[in-house]
C-alpha cells in the first residue's frame, strides 16, 4: 500500500514507552523464564521491525507472530532470536520454516505426516504442540493424540524437534477465574502425560503474566502489554507495573471555514449546523482505519474536545471548532492535548470494540513515526 507521507496524518510510536513496558515485564518474570515479544499484525499496528528492535533491547529473548510471512520478515530484517508462529501453517511450507529456524504450532499428528515430505534432509523443524484446553481454536484435545504426535516426532527425530508445548487462555483477562482454572488444570494434565518436558512450556499471554501464577511455564508470550494497553480493557484496573501507551494518532486541519446556520455536512447530510459554526476538515478517514462509526465522537484541538460532525468519509472527516483555527493546527485523535487525553480505550469504548482492534485497524497508509527513540 502507498504510505501517505505527504499528508499530516500520522501514527506516533513512543519507543521509550515500549522499552519501559517490556523491561518491566522482563523484570517481573519468574527465574528461568523468558519473554517472547508478540509482534503479530505489524506489532499490533505499531510497526514490526521497530517494535522488535526495541523489545530485544529491553530484554525480549524471542518473538511470536501470527503467520509465517511475519516470521520471514523478522529473519529478513536480521533477527536471529527464536521465532514461533502462532497460527497453523500449511504443511507445504514446513521446509521453508525449517530452513529459517522458525518454529510452528502443531495440533494434529497428520500435519506432521504431511509436513515431513517438505523438509529437506539436514533441516529440522521446531515444533510446539498446541493444547486446546478451552479456547476452542487450535490444539490437541485428547492426550492420546498428543502422545502419538510426540511418538511420531521421536520416530523422525532427524526431521522434527519437539521443542515446546503450549496453550492459550480464553479469559485470563477476566475477574472470574473459573475458566482459567479449568484450562490450567487440563494443560498441566497434558504436560504430565508427555514422555518428557520439551525445552519450552508456555501458557501466558499479557493478562496471564499480569494477574495469574499458573503452570510451570518458562516463556511469557507478551503481546498487548508491549504497547502499554491493559488486556482487560476496564475490567481489571490494577497492574503490577505501570503500562505506558506507546501509540498516538495525530493530524492537522487542512481547512477551517465558517458555515451559516442550517449548513449540511458530509454524506447523507446527517449533520445540520444549528447556528453559524466553524467547521474544520481533518485528512483521515475509514480507509486509514478511523472507523465510520466514530461519527459523534470527538478529537482534541488546542486542548479542547471538538465533536466529529457528519459521516466519516473514506479519507476525510469534519469537526466543529469553537472558533477559527488556521490550516496546520494540530488535531489529536489519540493522545494528549493540553490537559485532555483520548486513549485507544476511549476510542474502543465509543466504537463498541476492544483497543486491540482499533490499533490493528490503523491502515498502512498512515506513516508510523518514532518518538523518544531508543538507541
Q: Which of 54, 84, 86, 104 binds ligand PLP (CB under 6 A)?
A: 86
Q: Among candidates 279, 284, 326, which has minimal Cα distance to 302?
A: 326
> H-type helices in 77-166, by residue range?
94-99, 109-116, 143-155
User: Site map for ligand PLP, 223-252, x if CB under 6 A?
Assistant: xx------x---------------------
C-alpha count within 13 angstroms, C-beta hemisphere, residue 245: 21
Q: Which residue in the list 40, 200, 325, 350 is annotated as catalytic?
A: 40
If binding is defined by CB under 6 A, does position 320 make contact with ligand PLP?
no
Give the interface segment with ligand PLP, choosing from 218-226, 235-243, 273-281, 301-309 (CB under 6 A): 218-226
Phi and psi at residue 286, in whole multiples of 5°? -65, -20
Tell me whether residue 130 or residue 282 sits nearer to ligand PLP (CB atom). 130
Crossing angle of helices 143-155 and 178-192, in 10° steps, is: 40
- Identify whether the C-beta of residue 338 lies closer than 8 Å to the C-beta of residue 300: yes
Sign of the dihedral defined by the CA atoms of residues 358, 361, 364, 365, in that order:
negative
What is the total count of residues that contact ligand PLP (CB under 6 A)? 10
Cα(300)–Cα(114) distance, rounded to whole angstroms?
55
Tell me whether residue 221 or residue 298 sits nearer to ligand PLP (CB atom). 221
Q: Which of 11, 37, 38, 347 binds ligand PLP (CB under 6 A)?
A: 38
Nearest distance from residue 146's CB to ligand PLP, in Å?
17
If binding is defined by CB under 6 A, does position 205 make contact with ligand PLP?
yes
Rounded to the nearest 5 degrees, what angle is found at the Cα of 236, between the Cα atoms of 171 and 59?
80
If binding is defined by CB under 6 A, does position 128 make contact with ligand PLP?
no
Q: Which of 21, 24, 183, 206 binds ligand PLP (CB under 6 A)?
A: 206
Phi and psi at residue 338, in whole multiples of 5°? 60, -130
Cα(84)–Cα(73) distance, rounded to whole angstroms?
13
Residue closest to ligand PLP, measured at CB: 223
Tell me whether residue 19 or residue 169 sits nearer to ligand PLP (CB atom). 169
Let me know if 57 is a catalytic residue. Answer: no
Cα(300)–Cα(338) distance, rounded to whole angstroms?
9
- The neighbour count for residue 323, using CB atoms within 10 Å, is 8
Integer angstrom CA distances of residue 46 from 34, 371, 374: 22, 12, 15
Tell me whether residue 230 or residue 337 sits nearer to ligand PLP (CB atom). 230
Cα(112)–Cα(90) distance, rounded to whole angstroms?
11
Cα(50)–Cα(12) distance, rounded to whole angstroms?
12
Nearest distance from residue 108's CB to ligand PLP, in Å?
17
Let me know if 356 is a catalytic residue. Answer: no
Q: Which residue in the list 44, 181, 267, 336 is annotated as catalytic?
A: 267
Cell match 449546523: residue?
273
Nearest distance from residue 225's CB to ligand PLP, in Å?
6
Q: Which of 221, 250, 355, 368 binds ligand PLP (CB under 6 A)?
A: 221
Tell me whether residue 63 or residue 317 sits nearer to ligand PLP (CB atom). 63
Nearest distance from residue 171's CB to ligand PLP, in Å?
11
Give the interface segment with ligand PLP, choosing from 117-125, 202-210, 257-265, 277-285 (CB under 6 A): 202-210
User: Site map for ligand PLP, 281-310, x if CB under 6 A?
Assistant: ------------------------------
Query: Which residues inside 150-169 make contact with ligand PLP, applying CB under 6 A?
Result: 168
Tell me whether residue 22 or residue 301 sits nearer to ligand PLP (CB atom). 22
Give the interface segment with ligand PLP, choosing from 188-196, 205-213, 248-256, 312-320 (CB under 6 A): 205-213
Rounded to the nearest 5 degrees, what angle is found at the Cα of 89, between the Cα atoms of 88 and 92?
145
Q: Please give the torsion angle defined by the CA atoms of residues 129, 133, 137 and 143, in that order, rounded to the nearest 10 degrees.
A: 50
Q: Among candidates 173, 315, 343, which has minimal Cα distance to 248?
A: 343
Site residues for ligand PLP per CB under 6 A: 38, 86, 168, 205-207, 221, 223-224, 231
Active site residues: 40, 267
Amino acid at each position: 500500500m502507498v504510505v501517505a507521507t505527504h499528508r499530516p496524518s500520522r501514527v506516533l510510536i513512543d519507543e521509550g514507552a515500549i522499552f519501559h513496558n517490556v523491561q518491566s515485564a522482563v523484570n517481573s518474570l519468574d527465574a528461568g523464564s523468558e519473554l517472547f515479544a508478540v509482534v503479530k499484525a505489524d506489532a499490533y499496528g505499531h510497526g514490526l521491525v521497530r517494535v522488535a528492535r526495541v523489545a530485544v533491547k529491553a530484554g525480549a529473548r524471542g518473538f511470536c507472530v501470527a503467520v509465517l510471512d511475519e516470521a520471514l520478515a523478522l529473519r529478513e530484517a536480521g533477527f536471529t532470536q527464536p521465532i514461533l508462529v502462532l497460527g497453523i501453517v500449511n504443511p507445504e511450507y514446513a521446509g521453508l520454516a525449517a530452513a529459517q529456524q522458525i518454529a510452528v504450532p502443531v495440533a494434529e499428528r497428520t500435519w506432521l505426516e504431511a509436513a515431513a515430505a517438505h523438509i529437506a534432509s539436514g533441516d529440522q523443524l521446531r515444533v510446539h504442540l498446541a493444547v486446546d484446553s478451552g479456547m476452542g481454536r487450535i490444539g490437541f484435545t485428547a492426550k492420546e493424540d498428543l502422545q502419538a504426535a510426540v511418538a511420531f516426532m521421536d520416530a523422525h527425530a532427524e526431521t522434527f524437534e519437539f521443542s515446546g508445548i503450549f496453550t492459550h487462555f480464553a479469559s485470563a483477562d477476566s475477574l472470574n477465574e473459573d475458566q482459567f482454572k479449568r484450562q490450567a488444570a487440563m494443560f498441566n494434565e497434558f504436560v504430565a502425560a508427555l514422555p518428557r518436558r520439551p525445552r519450552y512450556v508456555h501458557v501466558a499471554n499479557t493478562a496471564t503474566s499480569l494477574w495469574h501464577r499458573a503452570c510451570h511455564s518458562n516463556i511469557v508470550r507478551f503481546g498487548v502489554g508491549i504497547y502499554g494497553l491493559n488486556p482487560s480493557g476496564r475490567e481489571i484496573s490494577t497492574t503490577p507495573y505501570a503500562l505506558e501507551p506507546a501509540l498516538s494518532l495525530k493530524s492537522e486541519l487542512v481547512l477551517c471555514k465558517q458555515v451559516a446556520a442550517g449548513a449540511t455536512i458530509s454524506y447523507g447530510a446527517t449533520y445540520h449546523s444549528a447556528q453559524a459554526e466553524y467547521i474544520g476538515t481533518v485528512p483521515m478517514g475509514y480507509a486509514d482505519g478511523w472507523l465510520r462509526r466514530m461519527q459523534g465522537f470527538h478529537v482534541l484541538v488546542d486542548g479542547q474536545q471538538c465533536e466529529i460532525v457528519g459521516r466519516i468519509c473514506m479519507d476525510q472527516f469534519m469537526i466543529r471548532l469553537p472558533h477559527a483555527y488556521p490550516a496546520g493546527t494540530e488535531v489529536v485523535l489519540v493522545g494528549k492535548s493540553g490537559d485532555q487525553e483520548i486513549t485507544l480505550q476511549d476510542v474502543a469504548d465509543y466504537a463498541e470494540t476492544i483497543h486491540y482492534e482499533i490499533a490493528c485497524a490503523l491502515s498502512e497508509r498512515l506513516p508510523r513515526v518514532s518518538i523518544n527513540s531508543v538507541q
